[in-house]
Amino acid sequence: MNKPIRRIVIAGGGTAGWMVAAGLAKCLGRQYDIRLVESEEIGTVGVGEATIPTLHFMHEILDLDEKEFIQATQATFKLGISFENWRNVGEHYFHSFGRTGRSHWTAGFQHFWLEGRKRGLAGDYGDYCLELRAALDNRFALLPDNGINYAYHFDATRYGQYLRRFSEQLGVQRLEGKIARVHTDADSGDITGLQLDGGALIEGDFFVDCTGMRALLIGDTLGVRYESWSHWLPCDSALAVQTTSVGEPVPYTRSIAHPWGWQWRIPLQHRVGNGVVFSSQHIGDDEAKAALLANVQGEVLRPPRVIRFTPGQREAVWKNNCVAIGLSSGFLEPLESTSIHLIQKGLTRLVELFPTDGVVQSDIDEYNRQARDAIEHIRDFIILHYHVTNRTDSDFWRQCRDMDVPASLQHRIRHFRDTARFTPAAGDLFAENSWVQVMMGQGIRPASHHPITRQMDDRSLADFLGDIRKEVARTLMKLPRHQQFIDQFCPAPPVDPRAPAPALRPTPGFINRDARVASLRLDDGSLVHVVDDFAQDPDALVALAAAGQFQRIAGHPYPGPQQPLPDAIAAELDGFFRERFGAVLGGGLPLGLHARFSRVVQDAATLDPRQRICHRDDSGLDAGERVAASVHYLFKDEQLGGTVFFRPLMSAADTQQLLRDAATLDASAFGDKYGIPPGYMTDSNRYFEVIGRVPAKWNRAVFYDGCLFHSGDIRWAAGQAGYQSGLGRLTVNAFFKSRKS
């Protein structure tokens, strides 16, 4: 099992797939080839629009800009969850993020509050929590020193697209297609490749199953059984619908209990997400749909759709060389907004335990142990909401109240009911304040509390509680309205809520099939293929690039910003290449394409050693693979330069040493050793000889063998302003990977 890992394949997109892709690319991307396979024809659940504060850690890992993320996903802020009708019909409570009061090392704040209530000195428990008071007063602001704990409501589809753009900019390659067959090794049982319905075989060394409830890899292929928790979590169905906004968005999720389940209401900037989670044994689909539509506000934007699920967990979520993350690993209903957290935790756990020199069983065992501990803790917390209730108005709630619950939860309920104590376990997601709020909110009144609270006389206890309450009130008064803060800090661009999230695929058909093709033979006998009038509408491509976001990729040697080429255009470009030049340049079975818009903007005097010399496009290839490449010129100033090709004047060993030195030596040491000053390489020197040039021309594309040494023909000194103004030297660069024939 100690086969080194070089190629990671993620099966499935959506929120899970692209969170995994983004995290792996950010943390490990320089060491591994990461590819993601998904099909536009396969939908995603896409209703997980509420989060918890742990998402901040994920965004810190990715170094995301919060304002940009909020605007891209039409997000609002979330300070907690309002639970309505859960304890009993007409009775509500609030599970807030953050901290309530101040604890002592001997006892949590609830002990002091209970003593205060006993003496008539304490107000409502929520009066001592800023997040709770701010939520119910519809106020929010970012405070210094993490002074307020918050999460987000966002459009899950737009979030997946946002992470996809981010991942592709870090080099993740997306492959379109349905998985028709999963190949395994007969001896080890390891997965070796994914056969797509179009015939392409996507081989890898390590696989992440993000195929949702289908669990094509971990379940269908590796045979890991699913453990149902339906006897504790009775809901097995959901209906989701979107409505237009009515009034200002509140900074919390509403969870409204019904006789057969519960309803969510999640406000975004451009619409409201609604849905019901219900037990199909207690209500039919049509009745649940009618109940949902009768309890929403605003215009219904799309018909509700039914989602079936079985609460539970795979008996193992890592087996052989495959880890399941997201719905393929298990599912807990969305009551406490933990689905995205579990994806995030699966990813970060994978990064922490990523196989160093190949998969070993101890890593598998540790990953599975941690995954089970984490989800069982969350499972118990969700069961608590159903089991501890005073509702007796329906068979559903009587069944929940009377059911047996896991021993771990029984102990926590009994311990809190007897003593007001809660003892968190290592790694628990929900801390003491969350459990206390929900247990008291659901109706538990502890029989006693810690005796240390009796050490305080009435004056001391009243001052202690009063100071906390006053500080919450003072801070609350300074907070703006939630909508006011959004308008000032992060208003998202207006969109039509009736329209689906914009696809990342423009309409295909951009290549001019009547384009003129010619071949140029270089001095070493190699052929370079030149296509003039390549795109039917090159101005539209330029406009597409201008509308997107260019970004410098840290550590990448390209001397300027990039942005991924939209998938539909990339797919058409790939098809054109395979059809016209595959036999002479592409080799055998296609293994994928990476394509991007690129601009050269870096001052020649600042180039590092890698950027001062010509290069090849074959880095990171396995022995049986090859790559071809293309560049499409989308600038009209031909003085900005085309492409120049070279051959080395040294032995293969000396050439490799120069390339290694360029990647490892600093600029000064490299210059001293080789005498190559800063600047773009456009002419022969004592190490490389020019063997041909292709001049730049508006709407010209050049296809060539990626093993050829080449460089942009950048004449920086003669036209610096031309490179740095507007889109400058805008090109489309594409790399076509395949098996050697």
- Parallel/antiparallel/unpaired status of strands 206-209 and 322-324: parallel
- Give the separation between CA 640 and CA 477, rounded to whole angstroms: 58
384: left (phi over 0), alpha (psi -120 to 50) or beta: alpha
Burial 640-661 (b: 16+ CB within 10 A, else e): bbbbbbbbbeeeeeebeebbeb
- Give the separation between CA 381 and CA 413, rounded to whole angstroms: 10
Active site residue 78: yes
- Parallel/antiparallel/unpaired status of strands 33-38 and 173-176: parallel
- DSSP class of residue 59 equals H
Please say whether the beta carbons of 11 and 321 come within 8 A.
no
- Give the separation between CA 261 and CA 283, rounded to whole angstroms: 9
Candidates 3, 78, 289, 478; catalytic one: 78
- Give the separation between CA 476 and CA 484, rounded to whole angstroms: 15
Q: Is 111 exposed, middle or buried (0-12, 13-18, 19+ CB in 10 A)?
A: buried
Angle formed at CA 577 by CA 576 and CA 579, multiple of 5 degrees: 65
Q: Which residues on adjacent β-strands are paired with residue 184?
A: 191
In 3D space, the residue among 686, 683, 691, 616 whose CA is nearest the CA of residue 647 turns out to be 691
The separation between CA 651 and the C-alpha centre of its own chain, rounded to angstroms, equals 45
In 3D space, the residue among 21, 728, 711 whose CA is nearest the CA of residue 325 turns out to be 21
Question: Residues with Cβ < 8 Å from 444, sequence gap 6 or more?
Answer: 388, 413, 416, 417
Question: Residues with Cβ < 8 Å from 290, sequence gap 6 or more?
Answer: none
What amino acid is encoded at 66 in this protein?
E
- Give the separation between CA 167 and CA 301, rounded to whole angstroms: 31
In 3D space, the residue among 403, 433, 404, 399 whose CA is nearest the CA of residue 416 turns out to be 433
In 3D space, the residue among 247, 340, 251, 263 whose CA is nearest the CA of residue 304 turns out to be 263
295: tokens are 């309890």
Q: Is 102 exposed, middle or buried (0-12, 13-18, 19+ CB in 10 A)?
A: middle
- Give the separation between CA 544 and CA 549, rounded to whole angstroms: 10
Active site residues: 78
